[in-house]
Amino acid sequence: MKEKNIWAWFPVTFLVALFCCILWGSASPAIKIAYRLFQIGAEDTASRIVLAGARFMLAGAMTILFGSAISGKLLRPEKGSLKMIAVLALFQTVGQYYFFFMALAHTTGVRGSIINASGNFITILFAAYLFRLERMTLRKLVGCIVGFAGIVAILGGGAALMEGGAVTLSGEGAMIAADVFYALSGCCIKIFSKKENPVVLSGYQFLLGGAVLFLVGVLMGGSLTFYSASSVWNLLYMGFISAGAYTLWGVLLKHNPVSRVSILGFMNPVMGVLLSALFLGENREAFSLSGLMSLILVSLGIIIVNTEGRKKAD
């Protein structure tokens, strides 16, 4: 009997997925802390773009290094993969994180973490209706509705949205725009990974997208000033967030059914809210009735949309 791979042993799968979700969940507080450490004001868009670019150039280099270490050889993209890398760099890094970094300058970490989870549901809609990659089912539709209900709840409910005071374009609106780019990149990765190693795609698109953001930010007059050693460690950690999480998540997907790994993604917004409360002091919003209700609905929505696939895989 063939020995089961350790990555497919559920306790290991769960703990590694939890670690990945802690990393992703820490992104919002880490970026908001970076704005303080680098003294980047809410209106200093150029320096925010430089910071995003520096983060993802580091993330790209780390992803390629980690992936090469795991595979035992230097990961290099095939010639035919360059166009795919460019498309992903445009959507996943330049588009998504331009808006992500903008949003976190104008909204709380708790709100950002919960709204950011809407990317899971937008991806389902895009995959079914825009890219025709999969069929929409009743369970997926219900999961999306439940998840979006959680997003509406954190924004103050339907009445608050209708009055127009619950969201701003530079804050919550920018986070939703980031989620649209996330959904587009997710569908592209699903298509491109049939031809190329997803770790290769992630690493090199981070590197390219980060370089584009950095150059654009510098040309706009942005800069980074390292006021303390904490600034250096913060930037290195932000690079590791993406590199570590994407690399380990890719390993889990390689050795497990996609549905088993994807369903554990419900921990992502949970970690984002808890870490924002811990490091940013946003306890009141995180543990308010609307905050807890939003988190429950969003997490439940992620579980619902992934449960159907798990039954079929099992």
**H or E segment and range at residue 213:** helix 198-219
Look at residue 314 in the predicted model and tell me its pLDDT: 44
Q: Is the pLDDT of residue 313 over 60?
A: no
What confidence tens digit (pLDDT) does each residue in 45-54 have?
A: 999 999 999 9
Is residue 250 within 8 A of residue 3, CB to CB? The reply is: no
Q: Mean per-residue pLDDT for 263-280?
A: 92
Q: How far is CA 65 from CA 89, 196, 278, in A?
A: 18, 17, 31
What confidence tens digit (pLDDT) does each residue in 148-166 have?
A: 999 988 887 655 555 555 6
Measure the CA–CA gap between 33 and 52, rounded to whole angstroms: 13
Q: Is the pLDDT of residue 301 over 80?
A: yes
Domain boundaries, the chain: 6-313
Q: What is the mean pLDDT of the chain?
A: 89
Q: Mean per-residue pLDDT for 8-24?
A: 92
Residue partners of 243: CB distance under 8 A and separation at least 6: 58, 59, 60, 61, 62, 63, 65, 66, 203, 206
Is residue 167 very low, low, confident or very high in pLDDT (cuts 50, 70, 90)?
confident
Measure the CA–CA gap between 302 and 271, rounded to whole angstroms: 14
Residue 281, exposed/middle/buried by CB under 10 A (0-12, 13-18, 19+)? exposed
